Structure 1
Amino acid sequence: MCSPGIIFLAQTVVGALGNSSLLLHYLGLYFTGCRVRHTDWILQHLIVANLLTLLSRGVPQTVAAFGVKDFLSDVGCQLLFYLHRMGRGVSIGSTCLLSIFQAMKISPENSRWAELKMSICKYIDSSVYLSWLLYLLLNIVVLMYTTGNRNNKNSTSLKYLGYCSTIQYNVTIQSLFAALVSFPDALCMGLMLWASSSMVLILHRHKQRMQYLQKTSSPRSSPESRATKTILLLVSTFVSFYTLSCIFQIYVGIMSNPNLFLVNTATIFSGCFPAVSPFLLMDRNSSAPRLCLAWLRNGKTSDIMRNM
């Protein structure tokens, strides 16, 4: 059976390599002058958030699992927990925004979202930056209850979490903290489930309509359908891992002295989506270099973008 240190190391390295590869891919498209889709802009921020989440938690957790004790100061613990929470929050917000954008993009022209469908592209940039700002400000509360282990070994008001500790306030304050931090996550989860349900329904209706077309029509699905299926896979993977992570986080939260196995398991599940998601997206982006070369060769930007 693998030790926790090996699991943390493998998860962090594989996830960092996958996310870095996709990020370099998008940077390459940018510097070669190739225009990318609006969904790709959201995905770039998702990738950065994934890297932030993996590195800020995976690296110190790996070091602690291999036996290094009390290697972080109070400031170091506060910074790493803050970055992890911010990256995790932006990951949730980006996945939510991605699912909503795609649901509106594939909605029929005669739907109630028709007007918003035409103008939603204008708000993509501001929505992504607003997500960063929201979680940047919201997670300041993390700095209030995170501390290191160097000078606090005998304190009974601390909850030991491996390489750092959290200060245990009274039940009322902890409940307010939990509600404040969890509300945006719960809202994003609800919007994701709504958008995913809408996409499934739209695809189902589209499939029923396709059954009446002539057999000579192309059996290959449209780019929109393939992108939608990829996003549905991404969202379902996110919801699954996030739910498991929340269950273990709740157990860690309600216990005054959680055992190390529970803490490690919660950390592993929290890093699963950032590590797995880039590999779910790689197949979707495999055709981008060919499209970019065609755009550079012919200069037909509108034709290329219409097919993306």
Structure 2
Amino acid sequence: MKPILHLPVQDPCAQTTRINSMAATNVAIGVIFLSQTVTGILGNSYLLHYYLLLHFRGCRLRSTDYIQHHLLTANILSLLCNGVPQTMAAFGWKDIFWDIGCKLLSYLHRVGRTVSISSTCFLSVFQVITISPMGSTWSKCKLKAPRYIGSSTYLTWILSLLINIVFPVHITAKSSNTNITSLKEFGYCSSIRHDKASDIFYSVLLTSPDVCFVGLMLWSSSSMVFILYRHKQRMKHIRRSNVSLRSSSETRATKTILLLVSTFVCFYTVSCLIHTHLALFYHPTWFMVYAAAIVSGCFPTVSPFLLMTHDSCESSFCLQWARNRKY
């Protein structure tokens, strides 16, 4: 006589509680994604609209403002292509994107992210050239640098489109026919799983340009801190009334860009650590997946408000001057 096997009986109440807890967690994450996306898009759109308004009112924009135009546009693209689908996935709409939709959204998000990084790098490098004292190595580039801002930013978009073209190859929709055991789930889409060596290779390939830009940011930030320190030491022996308005304006702009770069480096470091975890583990937890998406959207959301802290005073003065000139 065969022994009777007693299978464990699942408690329906415990299972219902677990389902309700997961549903509440998904709703909370969806609210975070929604708040981040809406706040970031509104902040970037407002500042971009304000720059256009100043331009049409007759104000002469600074050279750094043109770089900020591209930064704000890239931020909006990144938030739209990542924040919106992640919000929909958190609220339960996970299988609404076709394979081509997942590839396109992931590709555009990567393009926006790369342009955002490069634009922040250009801001810091250009500001070093702007505030460099006469007689220094970079002082010779002060007159030439503004001429190449437009071509450099547009070249960045072209290179970003080309560099990230390999990224969508490994992205697929969750509803595709690919074997589920060979997929890593990333919210609204999935990534085709490879061996660890291949994952590390593609990670290094895609992050190499970002690492170069971050290195330039760190170098330019260190240079700006050194220049500001020397300027402060010289100003100790000069009366406050003799400090020019341009010098004060450039100092405020430099401090704002330093704050912007510092914020970016902090968020980028955390994002790199999380994405390294996702690349090395075959079955990443849902917490790490959502954390990676939230952290990647932090800088595009925060950056326009950091830029507003410097632009508010000068832009308001310029707008009032243009209005008075009109009348």
3-state DSSP of counterpart to 1:184: helix
Is contact 1:34-1:296 (8 Å) kept?
no
Pick aligned residue for 2:283 from 257, 264, 267? 257
**Distance in 2 between residues matched to 1:104 and 1:62, nearest whole Å:** 41
Identity of aligned residues (%): 52
* Unpaired stretches in structure 2, ≥5 consecutive residues: 1-24
Give the equivalent residue in structure 1 for 2:258.
Answer: 232
Count, aligned residues = 299
Tell me which moved more, 167-176 or 117-126: 167-176
**Distance in 1 between residues matched to 2:156 and 2:243, nearest whole Å:** 40
Whether 1:288 aligns to 2:315 is yes
AA of the residue aligned to 1:279: F
Pick aligned residue for 2:184 from 134, 140, 159? 159
Cα deviations across residues 232-272 of structure 1 (Å, max 9, x unaligned)?
A: 00000010111111111111111101111110011111100
The within-5 A match list for 1:158-307 is 158-214=183-239, 217=242, 222-286=248-312, 287-294=314-321
Give the equivalent residue in structure 1 for 2:16.
Answer: none
The verdict on how the C-alpha distance between 1:130 and 1:219 changes in structure 2, with shifts beyond 3 A counting, is closer
Cα deviations across residues 102-157 of structure 1 (Å, max 9, x unaligned)?
A: 01100001101121122111111111111111111000001210100112474322
The Cα RMSD (Å) is: 1.9
AA of the residue aligned to 1:147: T
Q: TM-score, normalised by structure 1?
A: 0.92
**Distance in 2 between residues matched to 1:288 and 1:279, nearest whole Å:** 14
Is contact 1:141-1:177 (8 Å) kept?
no
Give the equivalent residue in structure 2 for 1:116.
Answer: 141
Give the equivalent residue in structure 1 for 2:11.
Answer: none
**How far did 1:298 drift?**
5.5
**Distance in 1 between residues matched to 2:200 and 2:276, nearest whole Å:** 12
The verdict on how the C-alpha distance between 1:216 and 1:226 changes in structure 2, with shifts beyond 3 A counting, is closer
Cα deviations across residues 27-53 of structure 1 (Å, max 9, x unaligned)?
A: 212233322111000001000011111
**How far did 1:290 drift?**
2.2
Whether 1:89 aligns to 2:114 is yes
Q: Which has the larger radius of gyration?
A: 2
**Distance in 2 between residues matched to 1:170 and 1:17, nearest whole Å:** 41
**How far did 1:169 drift?**
2.8
Give the equivalent residue in structure 2 for 1:72.
Answer: 97
Whether 1:7 aligns to 2:66 is no
**How far did 1:273 drift?**
0.5
**Distance in 1 between residues matched to 2:322 and 2:244, nearest whole Å:** 26
Is contact 1:101-1:120 (8 Å) kept?
yes
**Distance in 2 between residues matched to 1:175 and 1:261, nearest whole Å:** 21
**Distance in 2 between residues matched to 1:128 and 1:151, nearest whole Å:** 37
Whether 1:20 aligns to 2:45 is yes
Cα deviations across residues 151-207 of structure 1 (Å, max 9, x unaligned)?
A: 247432211112100112344433332222111100000000000000000000000
* Unpaired stretches in structure 1, ≥5 consecutive residues: 300-308
**Distance in 1 between residues matched to 2:94 and 2:66, nearest whole Å:** 40
**Distance in 1 between residues matched to 2:61 and 2:242, nearest whole Å:** 28
Is contact 2:57-2:322 (8 Å) kept?
no
The verdict on how the C-alpha distance between 1:80 and 1:215 changes in structure 2, with shifts beyond 3 A counting, is closer
The within-5 A match list for 1:92-103 is 92-103=117-128
Whether 1:136 aligns to 2:161 is yes
**Distance in 1 between residues matched to 2:323 and 2:227, nearest whole Å:** 34
Is contact 2:126-2:145 (8 Å) kept?
yes
AA of the residue aligned to 2:255: K
